Structure formats: C-alpha cells, structure tokens
Amino acid sequence: MKRLAPLRPSYKISLMDWVVLIVLAMVPFSYYLGLRIDWNQTAEAGLFIPSVPAVYNRAPSASAAAPYARAVEGGETATVATRIVDGTVSEVEQSSWDELTRRLEAEAISFPGRVAIYLKDLKRDRVWAYQADDLFPSASLIKVPIMAAVFQRIRDGGISLQTSLTLRRRHRTGGSGSIKWHRDGARFTVEQLLTKMIDESDNTAAKMLIETVSMEYLQQQFPKQGLVYTEINPEGMSLKNRRVTYENYTTAREMGGLLEKIYRGDMVDRGSSEKMLDLMKHLKHRARLAKGLPPGWEIAHKTGLLRGACHDSAVIFTPQGDLVLTVLTGQNRDYTRAKDFITQLGRIAYRYYGGDQSLYARANAVSLRRLPNSSRHLSSLVD
C-alpha cells in the first residue's frame, strides 16, 4: 500500500511583503544614520488641541505696548494718522477703511477658534487690531526674530553670511525642511541656512543657527527688537504635538511691528533689513495670505503651524500702498479650515487695495469728483 504524505503548504513572499520588510528594516537603520522619519508631517492626525491658560489670554500690560489702541466692540482699532486733504476726502477714505475692517472683524468673529489680527497701512499709518495682544504659540513665526538676531550677530562680528557650518547628528530635527536628509558632515553657509530656515521653514537649519549664535544671545536680542511678550525657550522649539511646559509665545501686534521695522530698514541696518525682506519674498509655497492674492502681487511673509496654531505674518506690496497683515489662529481642530480662513483675509485685503477697482481707489475717485480744481491739485501734492 502506498503511504500518502500530507502536503506541506508552500510560502511565497509577494512583492508587497518585500516592500513592507524593507520599510520596517529602514526604520532602525535610519535612526542609526540620524535620519529620523518625520512623523510630524501629518500633524492633523490625532491633533492635540491645547487649552490656553487664563494668564495667557492677554499679555500683561498690553496697553503699554500699544498706547494708541482704543477698544471697540469685538476688537480694537486705532487711527494714528490719516491723509487729510480736506474733510470730504478723509471722510470718504475713512468710510472705505471702516468697510475693510468690518469685513475682517466679521470673519474673525465667525471663525471657530482663537483669532488675532493686526493690520497696518504703512503708507497712511493707520492701524486696526483684533485681539492683537493675546498670546499664541509662535510656531515657526519664531524664525523671523531668529533671523533678525543672526543678522545682528553678523554685524557684531564673529560670523558672516559665508561662515561655513557643519551638519551633525544632534542637529537633525523632524518637521519641515530638507537639510535633515543630508549626510553628517555636510557643510552649509550661514546664508544657505537662513534661506532654508525661511524658504522651507527648515527646523534643522534653525537648530544649527541657534547653536551658532546661542540661545542666550537670542534671549538677549529679542527685547532689543522690541519684543516684550515674544520669547524663545529650548522646550518651545520642540515639535511635540502636546503641550509643553515652556512654550514660545508671541502676539499679532509684536510680529506685525517686527515686520514693519524690517520693511522700514530699522532692523539691524538697512542692508540687513533689505536682505531679510528679500528672504521672506521667496517662500517655497504660495500659501495662506499669499494664496488669497492675485498672481504678480509681491508678498514677504512667514507662516507657522504647530500645536493647534496656524499663522501667517506678512508685508504685502500693493498698488495703493503697502501694508502689514498678521493673522494668528489657535485651538484649531482642522488646519485646512484655518489655512482657508487666512487666505480669505488675504482676499479681503486685495479687494481694498487691489488696483483701480479697489475700495480705496474708488473712494479717492469719488472724493476728487467732489473737490474743486484747486483742491485736486492740493491732493496730488499731499499724498
């Protein structure tokens, strides 16, 4: 009789099995090389929504930082100076400005999260602010004062834009940026690191620059930049999605004020300010406020996204005059909605400042039609 042996199942490894095995093998290998997998790129998944302690809802002595602000229902507004040719022109122009700020305020009130807005018309020196002294996690907006401090360190001596720095394993940080994928020992100039830190929001570049100038130097420089409530702490630079003990906070007013100093050439010196502004004009992606502007409009800005915060702070260059617009949002459950909200504010600003059909241009056209010839001539001289 013939004995029948049971058939043993044959195991075949499919192509997908090989892919999974290779990926699993790469994880410990990448850590060995210092190339940590960037889990923080998908921050929306399982997003932690930090609650803001009552002590942080408003910066202490905020009125001292903004002596010209006066409270109104739902927000704050201040007109430091307006272009006054005669009562008719200022009245019509002010009416258009009021329409702009009403639209911004309506958007802010309807947003399902914390919001702060700081708007300054740099040509006419007018300011409108909404919760602009409330504290928010700064996220990557902190890289703007870091950039300014690096330029100050260059002016102080010891380093230059061409100083070469070496990438080490300790510098590698998750989140945004491409430098972390370079090999240990790769060299970058300070100028290259500044470009990466602003253009790509590269966290590894930021860490290398912080180490070069030192955390203590940054903490000394921030107050000299006019930053009273904006601070930097080692733990605040962490990419943890949960609350940290020592967060880096900022306010919309302080970030807007910092950008104005850079715009006017008052940060470090005029040459450094122009270089900083140029770096902020060339962000890799046209997003948030920039996305709400038409092609061809120039914008110098920095975005931030971390721990429920989604921000954009910008200098926008327009046909009717340049402006600073800073938008901070917090406690976001949906980053996409926050980004779309910021984009919508950019569109509203465009409607006011955008060329011949803008609210401002139409207001001036109406005003000039009402003026006698002598007043028209005067208006062209005053502006």
The pLDDT assigned to 374 comes to 38
The pLDDT assigned to 138 comes to 96
Answer for the pair 249, 137: CB distance below 8 angstroms, yes or no.
Answer: yes
Q: How does the average pLDDT of the chain come out, rounded?
A: 80
Taking 50 as the threshold, does the pLDDT of residue 189 lie above it? yes
pLDDT band at 246 (very low <50, low <70, confident <90, very high): confident
What is the reported pTM?
0.74
Q: Kindly list the structural domains of the chain, giving each domain's residue range(s) and its CATH number in brackets, ordered by start.
A: 74-133+253-264+286-383 (3.30.450), 135-250 (3.40.710.10)
pLDDT band at 77 (very low <50, low <70, confident <90, very high): very low
User: Could you read off the pLDDT of 171-186 as tens digits, one per residue?
Assistant: 999 888 999 999 999 9
Q: At what angle do helices 203-213 and 190-199 cross, to 10 degrees?
A: 140
User: Could you read off the pLDDT of 252-268 as tens digits, one per residue?
Assistant: 999 999 999 999 999 99
User: Could you read off the pLDDT of 297-352 as tens digits, one per residue?
Assistant: 899 999 999 999 999 999 999 988 999 999 999 999 999 999 999 999 999 999 99
The pLDDT assigned to 136 comes to 97
Answer for the pair 130, 75: CB distance below 8 angstroms, yes or no.
Answer: yes
**DSSP character string of 134-189:** S-EE-GGGGHHHHHHHHHHHHHHSS--TT-EEE--GGG--SSS-SGGGSPTT-EEE
pLDDT band at 296 (very low <50, low <70, confident <90, very high): confident
Question: Which one is predicted more confidently, 368 or 224?
Answer: 224
User: Could you read off the pLDDT of 134-180 as tens digits, one per residue?
Assistant: 999 999 999 999 999 999 999 999 899 999 999 999 999 988 899 99
